[in-house]
Amino acid sequence: MNNISNDFSARETFKDIRNYLAGRFVGATRDEFLLEEVVKLIFCKNFLSKNTDKLDEVELSKIYRREFGEIQKEFHDIYTNDDEIQLDPISIKYVDERLNKLNLRNLNRDVIGDAYEIFIGENIKGQSGQFFTPQNATDALVELVDPKPSDKILDLACGAGGFLISSLRYLKKFSKQNKNLNLYGIDKDNYLVHLAKIHLACLGQDTSNIKCADSLVWDTNILGKRDNYYDVVLTNPPFGSNIQAGSNATLKDFSSAYKYRKRKNEYIKTSVLNNGVPPQVVFMEQCIRVVKPGGKIGVVVPESMVSSKKYGYVVDMIMNQCTIKAIIGMPDVLFKISGKGGTHTKTCLLVLEKNKSNEIQKKNYNLFIAEARWCGHDSRGRAIPKDDIPQVVANYEDKEKSKSNLGFIINAKQIDNRVLAPRAYLHLIDKDVLKLDSTHYLKSLGDLVNDGVLQLTTGNEVGKLAYGTGNIPFVRTSDISNWLIKSDPKHSVSQDIYDSLAEKQDVMPGDILMVKDGSYLIGTCAMVTDFDKKIIYQSHLYKIRVNPNNDYGLTPFYLIAALSSKYVKKQIFAKTFSQDIINSLGDRIKDVIVPISKDRTSIKRISSMVEKSISNSIHARELSKKASIDVLNN
Spell out the residues 6+ positions from residue 249 whose beta carbon is closer than 8 angstroms to its own: none
Strands 541-546 and 492-493: unpaired
Say how many Å lie between the first and final Cα of the chain, rounded: 64
pLDDT level of residue 131 (50, 70, 90 thresholds): low
CB-hemisphere CA count at 13 Å for 156? 29
Give CA angle at 74 (72, 78), nearest 5°: 55
Which of 563, 547, 552, 572 lies closest to 610 in space, CA to CA? Answer: 563
Determine how many CB atoms are found less than 10 A away from the CB of residue 518: 18
CB-hemisphere CA count at 13 Å for 606? 22
d(CA 138, CA 157): 13
* pLDDT for 344: 74
pLDDT level of residue 106 (50, 70, 90 thresholds): low
* pLDDT for 247: 87
What percentage of the chain has pLDDT greater than the value 90? Answer: 58
pLDDT level of residue 4 (50, 70, 90 thresholds): very low
What percentage of the chain has pLDDT greater than the value 70? Answer: 91
Task: Average the pLDDT over 14-27 and give the result.
Answer: 82
Which of 553, 573, 589, 540 lies closest to 427 in space, CA to CA? Answer: 573
- Asked if residue 563 lies in contact with residue 523, where contact means CB atoms within 8 angstroms, the answer is yes
* Residues 525-568: tens digit of each pLDDT: 999 999 889 999 999 999 999 999 999 999 999 999 999 999 99
Which of 241, 252, 332, 242 lies closest to 285 in space, CA to CA? Answer: 252
* pLDDT for 12: 83
- Asked if residue 269 lies in contact with residue 258, where contact means CB atoms within 8 angstroms, the answer is yes
Strand-pairing partners, residue 353, are 296, 323
Domain locations in the chain as residue ranges: 1-124, 125-426, 440-629
d(CA 311, CA 313): 5
Q: Is pLDDT of 384 > 50?
A: yes
* pLDDT for 341: 59
* pLDDT for 219: 93
DSSP 426: G
Strands 230-235 and 291-302: parallel
Cα dihedral 122, 125, 126, 127 in deg (nearest 10): 90
d(CA 540, CA 475): 10
What angle, 0 to 180 degrees and rounded to 10, lies between the N-to-C axes of helices 162-172 and 111-124? 170
Amino acid 156 reads L
d(CA 570, CA 432): 11
d(CA 419, CA 424): 7
Give CA angle at 78 (147, 58), nearest 5°: 120
517-518 sheet: strands from edge to edge: 517-518, 582-584, 577-579
Residue-wise over 277-302: b if at least 16 C-beta within 10 A, else e? bbbbbbbbbbbbbbbbeebbbbbbbb
* pLDDT for 5: 46
C-alpha Rg value of the chain to the nearest Å: 29
Task: Average the pLDDT over 488-497 and give the result.
Answer: 87
The contacts found for 396-404 with CB under 8 angstroms, 24 or more apart, are 396/144, 396/326, 396/368, 396/370, 399/368, 403/429, 404/429
CB-hemisphere CA count at 13 Å for 284? 28
pLDDT level of residue 23 (50, 70, 90 thresholds): confident
- Asked if residue 287 lies in contact with residue 224, where contact means CB atoms within 8 angstroms, the answer is no
- Mean pLDDT comparison of 59-73, 422-436, 617-631, highest-scoring range: 59-73
Q: Is pLDDT of 1 > 50?
A: no
Which of 613, 632, 624, 573 lies closest to 331 in space, CA to CA? Answer: 573
Alpha-carbon torsion (376, 349, 368, 168), positive or negative: negative
* Residues 147-198: tens digit of each pLDDT: 999 999 999 999 889 999 999 989 987 766 666 679 999 999 898 899 899 9
| 125-426: CATH topology | Rossmann fold (3.40.50)
Burial of 385: CB neighbours in 10 Å, binned 0-12, 13-18, 19+: exposed
d(CA 212, CA 189): 7
Measured CA to CA in angstroms, residue 477 lies from 132, 340, 524, 537, 629 at distances of 33, 26, 9, 9, 27
> Across all residues in the chain, what is the average pLDDT?
88
Q: Is pLDDT of 2 > 60?
A: no
Alpha-carbon torsion (373, 378, 384, 387), positive or negative: positive
- Mean pLDDT comparison of 188-197, 258-267, 303-312, 595-604, highest-scoring range: 595-604
d(CA 28, CA 491): 49
Mean pLDDT lowest among 126-135, 549-558, 605-614: 126-135
Task: Average the pLDDT over 120-147 and give the result.
Answer: 76
User: Over 190-259, what HEC string results?
Assistant: HHHHHHHHHHHHCCCCCCCCEEECCCCCCCHHHHCCCCCCEEEEEECCCCCCCCCCCCHHHHCCCHHHEE
Strand-pairing partners, residue 483, are 526
In what helix (H) or strand (E) does residue 40 lie, and over which residues does it extend? helix 31-47
Q: Is pLDDT of 8 > 70?
A: no
Give the three-class secondary structure for 493: strand
Task: Average the pLDDT over 502-507 and give the result.
Answer: 96
Alpha-carbon torsion (162, 245, 145, 332), positive or negative: positive
* Residues 457-492: tens digit of each pLDDT: 999 999 999 998 999 999 999 999 999 998 677 789
Strand-pairing partners, residue 242, are none
Task: Average the pLDDT over 245-249 and give the result.
Answer: 84
**440-629, superfamily in CATH?**
DNA methylase specificity domains (3.90.220.20)
- Asked if residue 542 lies in contact with residue 559, where contact means CB atoms within 8 angstroms, the answer is no
